[in-house]
Amino acid sequence: MSVNVGLAQVSGDFLVAAIVIYSLAVLGFAGDFAFGRPRRSAASAGATQAGAAAEAGAAAEAGAAAEAADAAGERAAELAAVGAAGARRAASGAGGAGVPGAAGVADGATVSPVSPGGRAGEAAGGAVSGGAGGVAGVLPAFPARQVPALRAIWQAGPWVRAAVGLSALGLLLHVVAVVTRGFAVHRAPWGNMYEFVTALTCVAAIFFCYVMVRYRAWALGLFVMGAVVVALGLAETVIYTAAGPLVPALQSYWLSIHVTAMTLATGIFFVAAVLGVMYLVAERYRARVAAGKAQPGNGLLDRIPTAAQLDKLTYRTVVFGFPIWTFGVIAGAIWADQAWGRYWGWDPVETWAFITWVLYAAFLHARATAGWRGRRAHYIQLLGFASLAFNILVVQVFITGMHSYAGVG
C-alpha cells in the first residue's frame, strides 16, 4: 500500500507540537525547583504535628523516669546518713530494682518498652525525616500517597500543576503523532531509527507519567522529561526519515512482536538510566556530607528523592523492563530462524543485544548481593544502558550487518 503523505505530515506536526509542550513542561518543573514551595510543606503538615505530639509524649515519659531516678537517689542519700552498711544495702537494692544513673536513664529512654504513643512518635519521626541521607523505605521527598493524586498535584503548587498538565498534554500529542505515523505507513510505526526513537520516547514518557502519579514523583520531571526532549530533538534534526515502506526483510508480523517488545523495554530502560544518574549524584552528595566535605542543605538535591529512594525506583524500573527485553531477544531469535534459517548468527546487533541483556542481569544480581549494592550496582546498570545506546546509535547506523535497517542516510 502507498504511503499517505498528508497523514505523515500531520504526524510530524503533532510530534513537533509535542516537543514544544514537553519543553514548556520542563520549564515548569525547573520553575518549581527555583520558585516553588518546599516539597513537603503542605503534604507532611499532619505528619509533622503527629511527630511533635509524639516527641512531647516521649519527653514526658523521659521526665517521669528522671524524677523517679532523682527520688531513688535522695532515698539512697538518706540511708547513707544512717551508716555505710545501710548505704551499701540501699545501693544494692536500687541496682536490683533496675534504677539507672544519669547515663542509664538516657539509655533506658531509648531501649525501654515504648507506649503506643512512643511508637507513633517513632513512625512519625521516620515519616518526616528528609534530606539526601534519608531513611530507606520512606519517601520524604514525595507527598503522602494517602492523599489522592489530583489533590496532591493541586497542593504541590502552581508550577507543579502547570508542569504536570503540560506533560499530560504533550504525551497526548506524542501518542497521536506515533499512531498517525502508523496509519500513514500502514504498519507498526517503528520500521526505522527515527520511528524507533519517537516510539521509545513515547513509552518513556508514558512510564514516567505513571511513576510521577503513582509515587508523586514530579521532582524527577525536570530530569526525565528533559532527557525526552533532547532525544526527540535529535530525532527531528539528525535522524529524521521520511515515511516510506518497509524493506522486504522486515515485512513480517514478527515486526509487531519483536520490535514492539524492544521498544517498550528500551523506553523503560531510558527512565531507569536517568534515575541511575540521579542516584549517583545524590549518593555522592550524601557521602561528601557524611565526610564533612560538603555542607548539608543543598537547595537542588534537597528537592529530589533521597539516594535510597532513587535506588529503589531504579531497581523496580529495571525489574519491570528486563522481562520485556528478554522476551524481545527470544522473539528476535525466532524471527531470525524464520527469515534466515538460524536462531543466532552473532550479527553485531544480536551480539550487542545479548551483551545488554547480560549487563542488566548482572545489575539485578548485584542489587541483591551484599557488597555490590549502591554505586557499584548502578555503574553496571548505566553500563547496560550505554551498551543499549551504542547498539542503537552506532552499531545499527555505521556497522553493516543483517540488521542494517536504520534508514539513516
The separation between the first and the last C-alpha atoms of the chain, rounded to the nearest angstrom, is 23
Look at residues 389, 378, 382, 404 and name the one whose alpha carbon lies nearest to residue 352: 389
List pLDDT tens digits, range 104-118: 433 434 333 443 444
* Confidence (pLDDT) at 38: 57
DSSP assignment letter at 8: H
Positions in the chain whose pLDDT score sits under 70: 1, 37-145, 299, 401-409
Q: Where are the beta strands (DSSP E) in 172-265?
A: none
* Cα–Cα distance for residue pair 78/1, rounded to 1 Å: 106
* Confidence (pLDDT) at 401: 66
Task: Report the sign of the C-alpha dihedral through residues 213, 215, 217, 223, in that order.
Answer: negative
Look at residues 248, 232, 245, 156 and name the one whose alpha carbon lies nearest to residue 200: 232
List pLDDT tens digits, range 258-293: 999 999 999 999 999 999 999 999 999 888 888 888
**How far is CA 246 from each of CA 2, 82, 249, 255, 405, rounded to the nearest angstrom?**
11, 105, 8, 10, 9
* Confidence (pLDDT) at 158: 94
Evaluate whether 268 touches 223 at the Cβ level (below 8 Å): no
* Confidence (pLDDT) at 4: 92
* Cα–Cα distance for residue pair 328/385, rounded to 1 Å: 16
pTM: predicted TM-score of the whole model, two decimal places: 0.72
